[in-house]
Structure 1
Amino acid sequence: MRGGLSGFWIFIACIALGVAAIGGVNSVARAIEAGVAAEGQTLLGADMRFELNQRTATDAELGFLKSFGTIAESANMRAMARTEDETNQTLVQVKAVDPALYPMFGALTLSPSEPIADLFAERDGVWGAAAPQLLLDRLNLKLGDRLRVGGALIELRARLDYEPDALSDGFAFAPRLLTALGALNASGLVQPGSLVEHVYKLRMTDEPTESAIATVRERASAEHPEAGWSIRTRFNAAPAISANVERFSQFLTLVGLTALVVGGVGVANAVRAYLDAKRAVIATFKSLGASGGFVFGLYLFQILLVAAIGIAGGLVVGALMPFAANMALRSVLPLPTEVGFYPGALGLAVLFGFIVTLVFALLPLGRARDVPATALFREQGFEAQGWPRWPYTLSAGTLAVLLGVLAIFSAGERRIALTFVGAMLFSFLVLRGVGWLVQWTARRAPHSRSTAMRLAVGNIHRPGALTPSVVLSLGLGLTLLVTLALIDGNLRNQISNNLPADAPDFFFVDIQSAEADAFQSYIEQEAPGAKLVRVPMLRGRITRLNGVDTQKVNVPPEGAWVLRGDRGLTYARNMPSNSTLTAGEWWDPDYAGEPLVSFSAEEAGEIGLKVGDTVTVNVLGRDITAKIANLRNVEWESMGINFVMVFSPNTFAGAPHSWLATLAWPNASADDQARLLNGVTRTYPAVSSVRIADALNLINELIGQIGTAIRAAALVALVASVLVLGGALAAGNRARTHDAVVLKTLGATRALLIRAFSLEYMLIGLATAVFALFAGGVASWYVLSQVMKLSASFLPQVAFSTIALSLVLTVGFGLIGTWRVLGQKAAPVLRTL
C-alpha cells in the first residue's frame, strides 16, 4: 500500500459513486419521512381533519366534533375567476377559510404581511383574498386589482408565498385563491350537488396522543356510521407525499445499485490489472514458500482497504445529502428543521458497497491464487485462466445471491425490486453473450486488405481483449438511458400528438341541474356544429366491499387508488359509448329494482371484484349498497367522459347533483375557443371550464419535470459506466503498449495505429449501441404496453443520439489512452519482453 493507489482510482470512484447514491437517497427519504412525522400537525393544520363532499356537517356531526376541541371550517372547490372587466378568465382552486382560526398550526406567509382577519374582510361589498404570483401573471393583474368569482367581487390584497397546510389539500391543477368563507358564500357557487369539499379541522383540547386520536376516530365511525367523512390525523398528514417519496426513493436506490453493480465491473478490471502488474511480486512470494491462501488473503485484505476508502468517501457525500436537500427543497417538501445522520440508510449503503466489492474481486483473486510461479516469471498473465477453484466461484455466487436478496427485502415494493434484480441478472448474462458474439464474429470476419482494419478486428478477439468489459460496462448504462428516453418520448407523444380524432376540446364541470338544458341551448347557439355530451356527476367514497370495511381489505398497490378518497360517480340508462362489456349484462333502460353498478374491468380485477359482488358507497352522507351487474373495458385514452363506477338510474333517485359535459368543436380556431370560454364564464359563472390544450400543457410540464429528474438519476449509472470504461481501457494499456512498440518496431506508423485503435473502439461502441437500442426498446415496450397499457413506438432521435453517445465515449476514451501508449519509448519496453 505504500506504493500508492495507482490503478485504484477508478475502483474507488465507482464504489464511492454507488455508495453515495444509495446512502444519500435513502437518507433524504428518511429525512422527509421524519419531517412529515414531526410536522404532521402543521402539514394537516390540525390534530384531525374531517372532510365531507358536496354537503356540510349536520348539527349532530358538528356537535360531536366540537365536543373534542376547537373546530375550524374551510371549503375547497374549483371555480372560474374573471377579471373585473370580464375580458379574461382562468380556472382557480378556491380555498375559503375562517379568518379567526386559520391557520391553527404553522404560519401563513403573505406579502405584504397583515392580519388575516383584515386581509380577508369585506369592505364596501368587496372581499379580500391572497393568491400566488402565478395567478397574477396568468391574468396580468397586480395587487389591489379585483376579479370576480361567481357573484362575488374579490380584491387581491396580498401575494400568497407559503401555505402551511397546502400538502394536506392534495395536488391542484389550478392556482390557489385563498379567501374567507363569507366570500365563497357570497359567490353563490355552492349549490346542491356542487363539487365542493367541506373540511373540519379539529384542534383537540386533550393531549393529542396517538391513542386519544384513535379513540376519536373509532367513536366517529361508531356514532356516525353513515357520515361518509374522510378522516386524516397528524400521524398521516400527507399520505400521498409519503407514498410517493417511498416509491421515488426506491427507484433511485435501484438506480444507485445499478451504478454500484456497473462499478463492480470496474472493480474486477482494477483488481485484475493490479494483480497483473504484481505478477513478479506474487511469483517471488510463491518461490519463497508462500501458499496460495497467503497470496489470496494478502491481496483480499488490500482490496478491502481500498474499498473502505471508496465507501468512506461515498458515505461522506451520502451523509451530507439531507443537509443539501434541506436547503434546496425547504420551500417544497417538509424536512425537519434540524436534519441529522441516518445510520440505517448509511449502513445499508456500506453493506451494498462491500458485497459488490467481494462479488467482483473474488474471481480474479481466486485466479491469482492458483497461477504457478513459473508462469508468472514468464510474464504470462491471468487472461488465459478459466474459472478459479470452486470455493471462490461458490463464494462469489453466494454473495451475488445475497446482494439480490438484500435489494429485494430492503425495498418497499418487493415485486418491483424482484423484477429489477431479475432484469439485472438477465442483462449481465446477455451482455456477456453480446461480448462473446462480437468476438466470435470478429474471429470469423473475412480477411481485409486494410492493415488498420485487420489490426482492429484482431484486437477485438485476441486473448485479454477489452471487448467484454467495454460491452458490459457501457451496455448497462446506455440501456437504462434508452429505456427512460423512449418511455418519456412516448408519453409525450401520447399526450400531445396522438389524441383521438374525436377527443373533446373542453370539459365543463359543475353545471347545475336547473341550468343544464339552458346551458346546452347556449352551447348549440354559440358553437354551431359542436358536439356536447353531458352526464350527471356525484362524488362518493367506497366504504365496503362485499360488506367488509375497506380499511380491513388487503388491496394490491396498483388498485389501492380506487379506495383512497372520493371518486366521481354517475348513473346511466345505456352503456357509455367508449366502453365494451367483458362480463355480465347491462340493465334495461327502465330498470327499477335493487341498485346495480357497472365496474371498470381493469380496476375490478386489481381489487378482486367480480360480477355479483357488492360495493357500498357513501354519497351525501348516505350508504348505498349496489350489486355489480357487469364489468366493462374503458377506453380512457379517448378522453371522453367515463367513470370507474356507473350506477343504474334508480340508485340516486332524488339526490341533488351537478352535470359534467364535454364539447368537441372540430375546426374551431383559437379565437373561437377563447370567445366561447369567455362567454360561458360570464353567462354561467358557477360552471368551471377546462380547455384540453391547457390541461395537456400542464401534464406535459409535469412529465417533463419528472423525466428530467429520472434522467438525472439515470446519469449516475451512465457516469459509473464511463468510469468503468475508462478503467477498462486503462487496464489494457500495458498490453497495448507492448503491441504498439512491437508494431512500430516492425514499421507501423503512428497514424496507422491510431486508425486501427479508432476502428476497434468504433466497432465495439457500435455493437454496444445496437444492443442498448434493442434491449432498451424491449424494456420500454414492456413498460408502456403491459404496465401503462399504452401504444409504444420506436423513436429515431433516441437511436441516433444513443449511437452518437456510444461512439463518442468509446472512441474518445480509447484515443486518449492510445495517445499515451503511442508516446512510450521502445527500448524500455523491449527490454521486458
Structure 2
Amino acid sequence: MTTAPMSGAGDLRLAWRFALREMRGGLRGFVIFLLCLTLGVASIAAVNSVSTMMTEGITREGRTILGGDMRFGLNGREASAEEQAFLARYGEVSPIGSLRSMARLPDGLNQTLAEVKAVGPLYPLFGAAETDGGAPLADLLAERNGRFGAVAAPEFFDRLGIQPGATVRVGSIEVELRARLVREPDVLSDGFIFAPRLMVSLPALAASQLVQPGSLVEYDYKLRFSDPATDPAAVEAEANRQFPQAGWSIRDASRAAPSLQRNIERFSQFLTLVGLTALIVGGVGIANAVGAYLDAKRTVIATFKSLGAGGRFVVAIYLFQILVLSTIGVALGLVLGAIAPFGAARFLEAQIPVAAEAGIYPGALALAAAFGYLTALCFAILPLGRTRDVAATALFRSSEEPSLRRIRWSYALTALVLAALIAGLAFLMASDKTVAGVFLVATAVAFAILRVVAEAIRRIARRLPRVRSTPLRLAIGNIHRPGALTASVVLSLGLGLTLLVALATIDNGLRREIGTGLAARAPAFFFVDIQNNEIDPFRQEISQLAPGSTLEAVPMLRGRITQLNGVPVGQVNVPPEGAWVLRGDRGVTYAATAPENTSLTDGEWWPADYAGEPLVSFAAQEGQELGLEVGQTITVNVLGREITARIANFRVVEWESLSINFVMVFSPNAFAGAPHAWLATLDIPNTTAETERTVLREISNSFPAVTTVRVKDALDAVNALVAQLALAIRAAAAVALVASVLVLSGALAAGNRARVHDAVVLKTLGATRATLIRAYVTEYMALGTATAAFAIAAGALAAWYVVARIMRLPFAFDAPLALSTLVVALVLTVGFGLAGTWRVLGQRAAPVLREL
C-alpha cells in the first residue's frame, strides 16, 4: 500500500489538529518527560539567574564597592607628592593603608591577627561605613587625650573577649575600640581576608611604627571625579604615561571586585555544566518516555497508515505533541528558575555585602530554554523517527519490538546536529573553555562507554552456561533477550551515579586535604614583616621558646610582572590556568644558592658569587602555562623600579606543602640595596596548643611589628569557605541523583509492556509469582552492580582530574563512598524495578494473549 507524502501548510495544519485532538486524553505517560525537562531547565535557569543578579549588583554598586570612581594601588610605598598631585587634578582623593598585624591586649595575655585598614578623613567617598553606635566614623577614629580611636569587626571583639571601650595595642601604640564595625562598603574590593578587620586613622598607622622598609603594606588611593564625565581609561593612560615606573595597579568602577566576579563566573559555569549534565541525564528519560508513549500508540499510528497517511505526516503529529509537552516542561523550569533569585537574595546579602536586587533575567532564562528545547528534541527525534516505519499490520499484531526497527539516517543526522548545537552552546557560554571542553568530551565518552558496558553485559549474559535455577535462568535471559532493559537501565543510572560519585569524591577529597592533609604537612606558624635588624634576635627568641623546632626564613619583597619578553602583559594572550601569576603583586625573593629540596626541570642555578645581569628562577608549571622558556626575559616592578631579569632555570614548586614557595627567585644582585623584610615559617614537631599559644604570645609581645599567622586559624577560615561551596556541590549532586531516579523510573516504565507479555506467557506455562519476583530481583541486582562498578570507576577518574590536575591537590580514592554508591544503585534498581513489576504481575492473561 502506498502513502501520500506531506505537502504544504495544509497538511501541517491537519497534523496540528490531530496532535491536539489526541492530547485531549491527558499527559499520561509523560510525567517522567516533564519532570526530567523541568528539573534540568530549572537548575540551569536558577544558577544563571542568581549569577546574573550578583554580577549586576556588583556592576550597579561598582563605585561603592571600589570606594571611588578609580583606585590606584601601590605595594610597599606611598604615592609621591607628584603622583598625589596628579590624582588631585581629577577630583577628591581618599588614601588608605592596609596591612596585616597583631593586635594585643595591654597585659599581653591575649592577641589576634587583624586586617588593619587605615583611612583618611574623606573615607568613604561612596557609601557609608556603619557602626553599632551610629557616630560619624571620623569622630570614632580621631585622637582624644593622646590616644587614637578604632573600630573593629564583631569577630575581633569575640576573639579577644572584650567590649567597645576596651584598649588594644597595635604596633607601638594603644588604640581605644570605640564601636563595632557593622558594614564596610568597599570590603569586596580588598579581596579575600581571613582575619577580622581593625580600622584606624592614617595618623594612627604612622604612629604605630608598623610600616617599616620592606613591610607588606598596600596603599590605595580612591579617586572621586569632580567631573562625572571623566573617562577612566583616559586617566589610566595618562597616569601610565606620566609615571611609567610607578608600578601601581589601576581599577575603575567597572572592575570593582574582579576576583569575586571571576569566582562567580567560574562557580556559575560549574553549576551550569552540572545542571546541563542533569538535563542530559534527563534526556535519556525523555527518550524512554517518548518511546514508551509512541509504542502505546502503535495501533493509532497503524490506523493512520491504513487510512493513507504518509510517514512524515505521522511524524509531524507526534512532533507537534512533543513540542507542546516540551514547552510545558520548559515553562515550568523557567518559572522555578525565575523565582530562584528572589529566594537567594536575602541569603546572599548575608554572605556577600552587595545589595542583591532580585529580578527576572531574560538572558539566563533564554539560555535555559534553549538547552531545554534542544535536549528534548535531540533525545526525542530517534523514537519519533521509528514511528515512520510502523506498518499497518501492527493494527492486528503487537509483538513487534519498536527498538528493533531501524533508524533512518536523516533522523540520526538530525539528532547529531542537535547534540552538536547543545555542545556548541555549552562551549560558547563557558568562561573557561578548557573546563567546558573536558566536560563535553567526558560526557560524550561516558555515553559511548555506557553503550559498550551495556552491550558487554548482554554478551556476557548470552554466553553464560545454562543454569538449573529457574529464576536465575530467567534473569540471565531477561538481560540479553531482544528488547531487554539492559541498555536503558545502564545508560540512565550510569550517568547520574557517575556524576554523583565525581561530585562527592571532589567534596570529600577537598575537605580531607584541607582538614587533615594540609594541616599535617604545613608549618605551625608564618611570620611576616621581620625587619633586617630583627632577624637574628628573632631566631634566638624562637630557639628559646620552641627548642627542637625548625625555623626557615627568607628575604621577601613584593613585585608585579609587567612584561614578558619585552611585551606588556596586557598584550599577551595567556591561558586561564596561568593568568593568576600576572594578576596583582607576587611575593619574590633572592638566593645565592639553590634552596634545599629544589628540583630543577630545565637550566642551571647561578654561581654563589654571581654578579652579571639579573637572573631569575621561575616555577616550572606556571612558566609552561605562560609559554616561557629558559633564556627569555621577564620584567618585574618592585617598589616603583622596573627590573628585567633573564630566566636561568625552571624548578618544581609544591604549593600544597604550604612551605615557603615563590613563583620567582632572583639572583641577589637583582635587588642590591632594596629595602625588604623577611618571611619565616616555624615547624614544631609534636606541637601542643599550649606551646603554640606561648609562641604566639611571646613573639607578639617581643616583636610587635611582626605579623604572626597561625596556620590552623588560616585553614579554619578556608574550611569555612569550602563548607559554603560544599552546600552548592551537594545540591548539584542531589539534582543529579534525582535526575537518575526519574530516568530509571522512565526506563523501567518503558519496558513494562514487554514485561506484561513475558509475565503472562510464563504464568500460563506454570511460573509462580514468587519465581518471577526472584528472577526480576536477580536481574535488577546484576544490572545495578554492573552500573555501579562503572560509575565508581568513571566518577573516580573524573574526580582525580579535577582534584589532581585542576586543583593540584593529592587525590585519594574513597572506599566507603564507593560502597555507598553500590548500595544506592542496588536500592534504586531493585526498588523501582519491583515497584513497576508488581503491577505487571497482576495483569490478566486473556486480553494479552489475544494480541499475541
Q: 2:173 matched to which residue of 1?
A: 152
What letter matches 2:840 in structure 1? V
Change (3 A) 1:807 1:109: farther
Q: Is the 8 A contact 2:142 2:148 kept in 1?
A: yes
Equivalent of 2:56 in 26, 34, 46 = 34
Distance, in Å, in 1 between the alignment partners of 2:92 and 2:132 is: 28
Please, which of 384, 394, 416 is the counterpart of residue 397 of structure 1? 416
Aligned residue in 1 for 2:30: 8
Q: Is the 1:578–1:638 Cα contact (8 Å) retained in structure 2?
A: no
Distance 2:43 2:221 in 1: 42
Q: C-alpha offsets along residues 720-750 of structure 1, whole Å, 9 cap, x if unaligned?
A: 1111111112222233233334444444443
Question: Of 177, 184, 189, which residue of structure 1 is paired with 2:205?
Answer: 184
1:316 to 315, 329, 335: 335
Which residue identity is paired with 1:635? E
1:554 to 1:384, Cα distance in 2 relative to 1, 3 A: closer
Report whether the alignment pairs 1:430 with 2:449.
Answer: yes
| Residue number in structure 1 paired with 2:369 | 350
Q: Does residue 1:411 correspond to 2:430, yes or no?
A: yes
The 1-side partners of 2:701 and 2:54 are apart by 44
Task: Report the CA distance between 1:270 and its aligned residue.
Answer: 0.7
Where do 1:340-739 residues align within 5 Å? 340-498=359-517, 503-739=522-758
| Corresponding residue to 1:129 among 142, 150, 163 | 150
Query: Any gaps of 5 or more consecutive residues in structure 2?
Result: 1-22
Counterpart contact for 1:539–1:568, Cα < 8 Å:
yes
For residue 97 of structure 1, the aligned residue among 119, 124, 148 is 119
Aligned 1:222-237 pairs, distance under 5 A: 222-237=241-256
The alignment status of 1:205 with 2:226, answered yes or no, reads: yes
Could you tell which deviates more after superposition, 725-734 or 506-515? 725-734
Q: 1:142 matched to which residue of 2?
A: 163
Match of 1:87 in 2: 109
Deviates more, 1:713-722 or 1:506-515: 713-722
Q: Post-superposition shift, 1:815?
A: 2.3
Q: 2:386·2:402 contact (CA, 8 Å) conserved in 1?
A: no
How many residues were matched structurally? 830
Alpha-carbon distance between aligned partners in 2 of 1:527 and 1:338, rounded to the nearest angstrom: 53
- State the AA in 2 paired with 1:17: L
Structure 1 residues 500, 80: closer, same or farther in 2, change over 3 A?
Answer: closer
Q: Give the secondary structure class of the aligned counterpart of 2:349.
A: coil
**Counterpart pick for 1:112 among 109, 122, 133:** 133
The residue that corresponds to 1:272 in the other structure is 291
CA distance in 1, matches of 2:283, 2:760: 31
Query: Is 2:39 the partner of 1:20?
Result: no
**1:208 CA drift (Å):** 4.5
The one-letter amino acid of 1:70's match is E
Distance in 2 (CA, whole Å) between partners of 1:420 and 1:510 is 44
Query: C-alpha displacement at 1:335, in angstroms?
Result: 5.8
Does the 8 Å CA contact 1:578/1:634 hold for their aligned counterparts? no
Query: Contact 1:246–1:412 at 8 Å: present in 2 too?
Result: yes
- Secondary structure at the counterpart of residue 623 of structure 1: strand
* CA distance in structure 1 between the aligned counterparts of 2:220 and 2:584, rounded to whole angstroms: 13
How far the C-alpha of 1:406 sits from its partner, in A, is 2.1
Q: What are the Cα deviations for residues 513-558 of structure 1, in whole angstroms up to 9, with x where unaligned?
A: 1111111111112221112111111111111222222222221111
How far apart in 1 are the matches of 2:421 and 2:515? 44
User: Greater CA deviation, 37-46 or 692-701?
Assistant: 692-701
Alignment check: 8 A CA contact 2:298 2:390 kept = no
Q: Is the 8 A contact 2:492 2:740 kept in 1?
A: yes
Q: Describe how 1:61-72 pairs up with structure 2 within 5 A.
A: 61-72=83-94
Give 1:297 deviation, angstroms.
0.9
Q: Which residue type is aligned with residue 469 of structure 1?
A: S
What secondary structure is seen at the aligned counterpart in 2 of 1:490? helix
Equivalent AA in structure 2 for residue 20 of structure 1: A
Counting aligned pairs with the same residue, the percent is 60
Tell me which residue corresponds to 2:312: 293
Shift in alpha-carbon separation, 1:450–1:668, aligned structure 2, 3 A: same
- What stretches of structure 1 of length at least 5 have no aligned partner? none
- State the SS of the aligned residue for 1:817: helix
Write the letter of the residue equivalent to 1:86: G
- Decide which moves more: 580-589 or 674-683: 580-589
- One-letter amino acid of the structure 2 residue matched with residue 50 of structure 1: F
Distance between the aligned counterparts of 1:8 and 1:379, measured in 2?
Answer: 22
Given the two structures, how large is their TM-score scaled by the length of structure 1?
0.96
Q: Is the 8 A contact 2:559 2:586 kept in 1?
A: yes
Q: Which amino acid aligns with 1:72?
A: S
3-state secondary structure, aligned to 1:102: coil
Aligned to 2:784: 765
Q: 1:351: how far off?
A: 1.8
Instruction: Tell whether the 8 Å contact from 1:367 to 1:385 is kept in structure 2 after alignment.
Output: no
Give the AA of the match of 1:533: E
Distance of 1:763 and 1:376 partners within structure 2: 36
Letter in 2 for 1:719: V
- Asked whether the equivalents of residues 32 and 334 of structure 1 are also in contact (C-alpha less than 8 Å), the reply is no
Q: Which amino acid aligns with 1:241?
A: L
Determine the C-alpha separation between the residues in 1 that align with 2:24 and 2:781.
38
User: Secondary structure of 1:72's match?
Assistant: strand
SS in structure 1 of the partner of residue 329 of structure 2? helix
- Asked if 1:778 corresponds to 2:800, the answer is no
Measure the CA separation in 1 of the matches of 2:775 and 2:817. Answer: 29
Q: Which moved more, 1:217-226 or 1:780-789?
A: 780-789
Structure 1 window deviating more from structure 2 (691-700 vs 599-608): it is 691-700
> Is contact 1:279–1:377 with CA below 8 Å preserved after alignment?
no
Q: CA deviation at 1:142?
A: 2.8
**1:107 touches 1:164 (CA, 8 Å); kept in 2?**
yes
Q: Mean Cα displacement is larger for which, 434-443 or 480-489?
A: 480-489
Q: What CA distance in whole angstroms lies between the structure 2 residues aligned with 1:797 and 1:693? A: 27
Q: Secondary structure at the match of 1:587?
A: coil
Residue 701 (structure 1) shift: 3.2
- Which stretch of structure 1 is more off in the superposition, 460-469 or 420-429? 460-469
- The 8 Å contact of residues 576 and 642 in structure 1, kept in 2 or not, is answered as no
CA shift for structure 1 position 323: 2.5
- SS of residue in 1 equivalent to 2:599: strand
Check the 8 A contact 1:387/1:393 in 2, yes or no. no
Q: Kindly state the Cα deviation for residue 408 of structure 1 after the two structures are TM-superposed.
A: 1.5
Which residue of 803, 820, 827 maps to 2:839?
A: 820
Moved more, 131-140 or 232-241: 131-140
Q: Tell me which moved more, 491-500 or 588-597.
A: 491-500
Change (3 A) 1:784 1:338: closer
**Contact map agreement 2:286 2:376 (CA 8 A) in 1:** yes
3-state SS of 2:659 partner: coil
Match of residue 330 from structure 1: 349
The answer to whether the Cα contact below 8 Å between 1:502 and 1:664 also exists between their aligned partners in 2 is no
| Superposed CA offset, 1:482-501 (max 9, x none) | 12222333334434444598
Q: Do the aligned partners of residues 753 and 508 (structure 1) sit closer, same or farther apart at CA in structure 2, a change above 3 Å counting?
A: same
Residue pair 1:54, 1:193 contacting (<8 A) in 2 also: yes
Deviation larger for 504-513 or 766-775:
504-513
